[in-house]
Chains A and B, each alone.
Chain A
């Protein structure tokens, strides 16, 4: 059974303190791994899609990387406005209708 596990569940950082969020996954095959940002009470906002091990993508202070077992979302010199829950999801082509499976997220809080 496909599984997506995100760690830590919650993370508090000082402004400017870089860190990484982890998403480990167990799938039969990987069509894509997705990262989203979600603010309280709002819908998830798409950030990145990664397709194969070794791939990296960047957007402002965020960089996502992918290996065969896990993905990292690196946050460099974060600002308070980066505070949000970050969700990871995988799409397994062996699943019926290419179902997307979500992790439970990491709640990130950046202190000014």
Chain B
């Protein structure tokens, strides 16, 4: 079954404590991306990757890092989380015609 998995699904943390949200896809897609979704603001792209070792900033990259060492994995790293990064995060994996989203990670930064 084609899918995008994210872990953890829920996370409560404190300001400044580094965290990583993992993302994995089993569709052999080259293109992967991270979004955050906030009430009234919709989906906003954080980072994307066109292929292994190729990443680039989206609309709201500040405070985030990513890496793409393998085609299937695209982790999102928050080196020093702050309360304004409290949000619902989605990883997505795309072919030329469809985009598949993960189930989401609800992050709360206290």
Contacts and interface: CB of A to CB of B under 8 A. Distances in A.
Contacts of B104: 41-43
A104 interface: yes
Given A43-B101, A45-B101, A102 B43 contact: yes
A8 to B, nearest CB: 15
B99 interface: yes
Interface residues of A, number: 19
A49 B98 contact: yes
Interface string B47-64: 010100000101000000
Contact of A97 (B43, B48, B90, B99): B48
A105 interface: yes
B108 interface: no
Contacts, number: 44
A106 B103 CA distance: 20
Interface string A26-52: 000000101010000111111001000
A103 to B, nearest CB: 7
B42 A103 contact: yes
A42 B103 contact: yes
Nearest to A47: B98
Contacts of A103: 42
Nearest to A4: B42
Interface string B77-89: 0000000000010
Interface in A53-110: 87, 89, 97, 99-100, 102-105
Interface of A: 32, 34, 36, 41-46, 49, 87, 89, 97, 99-100, 102-105
Q: Which 5 pairs across A and B sit closest by C-beta, in order of nearness?
A: A43-B101, A104-B42, A102-B43, A44-B101, A46-B98
5 contacts: A36-B101, A44-B43, A45-B101, A87-B43, A89-B99
